[in-house]
Amino acid sequence: MELKNIILEKEGKIALVTINRPAALNALNTETLSEIDLVIDEIEKDSEILAVVLTGAGKSFVAGADISEMSDKNVIEGRKFGILGNKVFRKLENLEKPVIAALNGFTLGGGNELALSTDIRIASTKAKFGQPEVTLGITPGFGGTQRLARVIGVGAAKELIYTGKMINAEEAFRLGLVDKVVEPEALLDEAKALANTIANNAPIAVKLCKVAINKGLQTDIDTALSFESEVFGACFSTEDQKEGMGAFLNKQSLVGKFKNK
C-alpha cells in the first residue's frame, strides 16, 4: 500500500496511524482522506491489530479540511467533498477496534471532526480546538454539526461552532471534548499504554462493547438494552469467555493471553 500522507506502523497488538502532511499542518485533502480510508481497511482486516492510536506529525493533529483544495469548489464538488469526509469518518467510527486520538496540536475543523469520530481523546497541553468554518464562509462538513453536540451538549457545541473560536486543552477537557490532558512528551506513551491495556483484554468482548455503546447511543433505551442482551449472550459462544472465566476460577487471569476466538 503506497501512502503519501499517512504513516501506518504496527507495534505488537496496536497500530499507530500518523497523519503526515506537516507543511500544511496535516490539512485533509481528498488524497489524505482516501488514504485514511485505505488504512482503515488495512487495520480492519489485520487480525493482529486490536487497538489503534491516531495522531498527527509536527505541531498539528489536523488543522481542518484543506482550504487550498476547497477554495475553488463549486456546489457539486463541495457536496462531494463533504460526503467523502463523512463516509471516511463514519467508517472510522464504525471500525470494530477501539481508536484513541492522541491530539498533539491544532485540532480544528475537519481535525476536530476526525477526533470526534474516535473512541477516546487524549490531548497534549499544547493542543488547540475549534470549528472555525463559519469564519471561512462554510459550515462544518465532516460531522461537526452532528457529533460535537452529541459529545459536549447542544449549547457548548453551538457556541464553538457559531463563534469559530479556538479553545485550549484545559477548556476542551472541562467541556468533555477530550477525556484526558497530558504533557506533550507523555502524549504518545499515554495513548499507546491505553491502547495496549485495551488490546490485552478479550478482543471480541471489546469489539462488542464498542458496537453496543455506539449503536445504543443512537436509539431508545429499550432497543439499546435489548441489543446489549444480544451481545452479552453472544460472548458465551466464545472460547475467550470460557477460558477467561475458567482462568479466574483457577485464581489466574487471561488478560494479555486471549485468543480472539
**Catalytically active residues, by annotation:** 113, 133
Which among 100, 148, 127, 115 has a CA at the least distance from the CA of 28? 115
Q: Which stretch binds ligand CAA (CB under 6 A): 136-144, 155-163, 189-197, 206-214?
A: 136-144
Q: Between residues 137 and 233, which has the closer beta carbon with respect to ligand CAA? A: 137
Burial 157-187 (b: 16+ CB within 10 A, else e): beebbeebeebebebbbebebbeebbeeeeb
C-alpha cell at 88: 471516511
C-alpha cell at 109: 475543523
Q: Between residues 63 and 156, which has the closer beta carbon with respect to ligand CAA? A: 63
Per rule CB under 6 A, is residue 56 in the interface with ligand CAA? no
Among 132, 172, 177, 188, contact with ligand CAA (rule: CB under 6 A) = 132
Site for ligand CAA in 210-249 (CB under 6 A): none
Q: Between residues 108 and 254, which has the closer beta carbon with respect to ligand CAA? A: 108
Per rule CB under 6 A, is residue 84 in the interface with ligand CAA? no
- The least CB distance from residue 30 to ligand CAA, in Å, is 12
Among 63, 84, 116, 175, contact with ligand CAA (rule: CB under 6 A) = 63
Non-local (6+) Cβ contacts of 79 within 8 A are: none
The 8-class DSSP code of residue 241 comes to H
Euclidean distance between CA atoms 185 and 228, whole angstroms: 39
User: What is the crossing angle of helices 154-163 and 144-152, to 10°?
Assistant: 140
Q: Between residues 101 and 254, which has the closer beta carbon with respect to ligand CAA? A: 101
Q: Which stretch binds ligand CAA (CB under 6 A): 30-38, 45-53, 106-114, 244-252?
A: 106-114
Q: Which stretch binds ligand CAA (CB under 6 A): 39-47, 103-111, 218-226, 247-255?
A: 103-111
C-alpha cell at 123: 490531548
Euclidean distance between CA atoms 94 and 240, whole angstroms: 23
Q: Between residues 112 and 238, which has the closer beta carbon with respect to ligand CAA? A: 112
CA dihedral 256, 48, 192, 160 (to 10 degrees): -120
Residues making contact with ligand CAA (CB under 6 A):
24-25, 27, 63-68, 85, 106, 108-110, 113, 132-133, 136, 138, 140-142, 144
